[in-house]
Structure 1
């Protein structure tokens, strides 16, 4: 999770833009918009969510792996946790 005020502000801005995209998609669906624009909006939302995940994941990697682990066991645990996060994201 981004912890610095600047990173937090940037991530929250992304979340708010995604919320706006989702609200626009909802309005388009309610209005009976054509399929092509709806699919384009869904693709844009997916791209925005992927960008958000990338940014949060990058901050997490910096936080977890920026400093040496206190022990080999903790290092292995951090690697396992990160691997699980990446796998769940890629599903």
Structure 2
């Protein structure tokens, strides 16, 4: 039972880290005013790809 609790705690910590990293990435890259529409779309596709692989 203790192992399952540790695994659940690790999963929660990793999810929290993922949220922080993703938020920082979105603000830094997609919030940049000097990006073209094409660059934004490329960044969005990158984020979608990462999320799909993470949420498998």
Q: Same fold (TM over 0.5)?
A: yes
Structure 1, unaligned runs of 5 or more: 1-35
* Distance in 2 of aligned mates of 1:76 and 1:66: 12
Q: Which residue of 1 aligns with 2:13?
A: 48
- Per chain length, whose mean CA-contact separation is higher, i.e. which structure has more relative contact order (CA < 8 Å, sep 6+)? 1
RMSD across aligned positions (CA): 1.3
May I ask how many residue pairs the two structures share in their alignment? 56
Query: Computing the radius of gyration over CA atoms, which structure comes out larger, 1 or 2?
Result: 1
Q: Which residue of 1 aligns with 2:42?
A: 77
Q: Which runs of 4+ in 1 moved over 6 A?
A: none
TM-score, normalised relative to structure 1: 0.55
* Distance in 2 of aligned mates of 1:71 and 1:59: 19
